[in-house]
Amino acid sequence: MPQNNVTRFLQTRKIPFEVFEIPGGKRTAQETANLLNVPIGRVFKTIVLQPVAPGKPILAIVPADKTADLKLIAKFLNEKKLTFPTPQVAEQLTGLQTGGISALALINKGFRILLDSSANEMDWMHVSGGERGINIKLQVKDFIKITNARIASISRPTDEKE
C-alpha cells in the first residue's frame, strides 16, 4: 500500500480506508471512476475557491459529475463573491499539485472545508489522497469528522449554465 502523509494521518486516527493507485498522472474524474469501477457520483473532487474580500480559501468537495456552484457557496459562507484561482494559484495556496489536492492533506491548514450535501446519501466516498495517482475510499461520516467539513448544497449539474 502506498504511504504518504494522508494515509499515515488516517492510520494514526484509526480511520478505516482503502488506498487505490491510479496510473498515469492527472486524470479526469470520469477516468478515475472508470479505473476504480465505481459510479462517478462516488468520486468527489476538491475545488479550491478564493473569496474576493480577504479571507481564508475554501475547499469545496463536490461529486465528480457536478460543478461547484459559486453563488450557493458564497451565500452559505456569507461571502460577497468567490473566484476560481488558476491551477498555479491553487497549487501555491495548497502546496499540492492539481489532481492531488485533498482536504485530507490540508487539515489544520486554515481552509474552510465544505462538502456537498449529496454525500449524506451515501456511506462511502472516494477522494484524492493528497497527490496525483493516490485515491482514498473512506466512510463519509469519517471524512466529515476528521476534516470538520460543513455540509451544504454547493453543487449543480455540470451541464447547467451559470
Longest dimension (CA), the chain: 43
Are the C-beta atoms of residues 119 and 29 closer than 8 Å to each other?
Answer: no
Residue 162: pLDDT band with limits 50, 70, 90:
very low
Q: Which CATH class is domain 5-147?
A: alpha beta
pLDDT value of residue 22: 86
Question: Which of 69, 48, 64, 43 lies closest to 160, judged by CA?
Answer: 69
pTM: 0.92
- pLDDT tens for each residue of 96-126: 998 889 999 999 999 999 999 999 999 999 9
Cell 477516468 belongs to 31
Are the C-beta atoms of residues 91 and 98 closer than 8 Å to each other?
Answer: yes
**Would you call 28 helix, strand, or coil by DSSP?**
coil
Among residues of the chain, what percentage have pLDDT more than 90?
A: 78
Domain ranges of the chain: 5-147
pLDDT value of residue 53: 81
